[in-house]
Amino acid sequence: MKRALLALWSLPTHIRFWIGLGHWLGNRLPLLGLPLSMIVDRLVLVFYSLDVASRNVFVPDLRIGHPVGVLLGGNGLRSRGTLVVNAGVKFVGRAPDDPDYLARHAEKRVFDLGDNVVVGSNSVVIGPVTICDNVVIGAMSLVNRDITEPGTYAGCPARKISDAVSQAWSGPGVALPQGRDAKEANP
């Protein structure tokens, strides 16, 4: 019961709810859905400082712990699983006249991300780009090319710095238990 209440109280849960509501409104209601979705998106911007076009976000497990300054954009963000986005991350398009960008924008697939992708604070991802499963992008990195191998990437532009991928951000142990259960979870 305590965990359920804490989950309902958490900021990522609220953000997922509002993005889900905007996505549902924008894609399911024929006439009023788009304006209502845009209103929900502006409310998310005002209350959470998260700039999002929720009707173009297709991520089953989106985790944004600190939404301040995050730009998810309206270009089409897709993931097959968990996507962790930290504060200040920007997903932006390359150029409005780029043929690859225009083709992927029409399909709402400018950013095609795999499962267990973590994007570090203040990083910029310039699309169109595809990122494979199990990738960690370090803080203040610039991703302007596809990432096809799992690992840890950092720098400007982002380069692979390690084959190791920490599951600390996206694994099952993200929400550590409080109190007496904490010793059992972290021996």
Q: Are residues 61 and 83 in contact, defined by beta-carbon separation less than 8 angstroms?
A: yes
Output the pTM of the full model: 0.82
**pLDDT by residue for the chain (187 residues), tens digit each?**
777 777 777 888 888 899 999 999 988 888 899 999 999 999 999 999 999 998 889 999 999 888 889 998 778 899 999 999 999 999 998 888 888 888 888 888 899 999 999 999 999 999 899 999 999 999 999 999 999 999 999 999 999 999 888 766 655 444 333 333 333 333 3
Partnered with residue 137 across adjacent β-strands are: 119, 153
- Pairwise CA distance, residues 25 & 36, whole Å: 7
Sheet holding 142-143, edge to edge: 50-52, 70-73, 90-93, 124-127, 142-143
The torsion of the CA quartet 75, 115, 141, 166, rounded to 10 degrees, works out to 160
